[in-house]
Amino acid sequence: MTMKLETAETAAGSRMCELLDSVRGVFAAKGFEKASMQDLAQAANMSAGNFYRYFPSKDAIIEAMVERDLAYVERDFETIMESDDPRGLLRAGLIEHLDIDDCDGGAIWTEILAAAKRRTEVASLFERMETMIVGYMVAVFGRIAGVDLETAKARYSAHATLIFMIIQGIKMRRRPNDNFHGSPLRALALRSIDNVLAEITEANPIPAEAGQSESA
């Protein structure tokens, strides 16, 4: 019985992910306000009535997107916290998120931020996502610096918030084929991230070869 239940839950989760992936392009192309539930249902190859069974509103879709992203983030930060090189693994993960070519995702988050100015429910979702991601980074910073979580919060919350803003801001302005990898903006973003990490690692120095900045 337990095995069947777990299989059913896995299948339901996979179906939800498929639906979320299918509607990304609609949100990116039409925007949060202009995309209708009918548009989204058509993108998912479902009737509107069946689609409403999964998502009763566009806010519910955004909530599901945020929940899925946070699940991925939590998994990644657990791996970082368990690593023998949390700083190196964190930096590699930040660069990966900085470089990822996901213009649809950036467009969607631009729309969500715009909607957050008008809809308190959407604003709360975005704030929760930022709070959780910043909190995960602060926990890693605490481990790198060798301090407890409360001390890390006091010292490094602003550092984590700045990194979040850099990566999220760049993701939202990326355009297809923008040659970002060789751009001055990427080089500056990397230097900014390395400067933030350098401040944190001063309390717990790492070998020089592990802390070298990646050339842009």
pLDDT at 13 over 90: no
Which of residues 182 and 76 earns the better pLDDT score? 76
pLDDT in tens, 29-49: 888 888 899 999 999 999 988
The rounded distance, in Å, linking the Cα atoms of 12 and 8 is 6
Q: Residue 209: pLDDT band by 50, 70, 90 thresholds? A: very low
Give 86's contacts (C-beta < 8 A, 6+ positions apart): 80, 140, 143, 144
Q: Answer yes or no: are the C-beta atoms of 97 and 114 closer than 8 Å.
A: no
Quick one: 70 exposed, middle or buried, by C-beta within 10 A (0-12, 13-18, 19+)?
middle
> Is residue 69 scored above 60 in pLDDT?
yes
What is the number of alpha carbons within 13 Å of residue 153 lying toward its C-beta?
7
Mean pLDDT for 15-19 is 86
Q: Which of 3-7, 19-23, 77-81 has the lowest mean pLDDT?
A: 3-7
Cα separation, 127 vs 133, whole angstroms: 10
Q: Please, are residues 138 and 153 in contact by the beta-carbon 8 Å criterion?
A: yes
The CA distance from 67 to 72, in Å, is 9
* Average confidence (pLDDT) over 152-160: 96
Question: Has residue 213 got a pLDDT over 50?
Answer: no
